[in-house]
Amino acid sequence: MGTKAEEYLNAYGEFAKTLRTWLVAYGIGAPVLLVTNESASRAIKASGQARTIAICFLIGATIQVVLATLNKAAMWGLYYGEENERVKYNKLYKVAFWFSENFWIDILADIASLVLFAIATWKAFATLIL
């Protein structure tokens, strides 16, 4: 059994992975569903909202992919620094460490994706039900 900190970190990791997977899946899956459903696609195109909806979904999913890439790069940099002590004095290592310590970046990216997806979803549903 690990420490409380390890338990919290493991739980955080699971929630982070689940949320990121959900956000990327939604950001890709919802537009695919809207495009492949012929009546929905026609209604959205006719509404003049198709471009806004597509851009919101695309940017929201892109934010998550970029964030995952940055987190991956930062974690590799920190790992490499632990394996090679001299790397810890490198500027890139310091940037990776800074990035890993600033949780607000992840939260801001998640909120931005959620807001963009909410806008796109609202516009799509409003188009389909009104």
Per-residue pLDDT tens digits for 65-99 = 999 999 999 999 999 999 999 999 999 999 999 99
Mean pLDDT across the chain: 94
Alpha helices by DSSP H, listed for the chain, are 4-36, 38-47, 50-83, 91-101, 103-129
pLDDT of residue 130: 77
Say which residues have a Cβ less than 8 Å from residue 88's Cβ, sequence separation at least 6: 81
Contact status, residue 113 vs residue 60, Cβ threshold 8 Å: yes
Is the pLDDT at 2 greater than 90, yes or no?
A: no
Is the pLDDT at 110 greater than 60, yes or no?
A: yes
Report residue 1's pLDDT band, with 50, 70 and 90 as the boundaries.
low
pLDDT of residue 106: 96
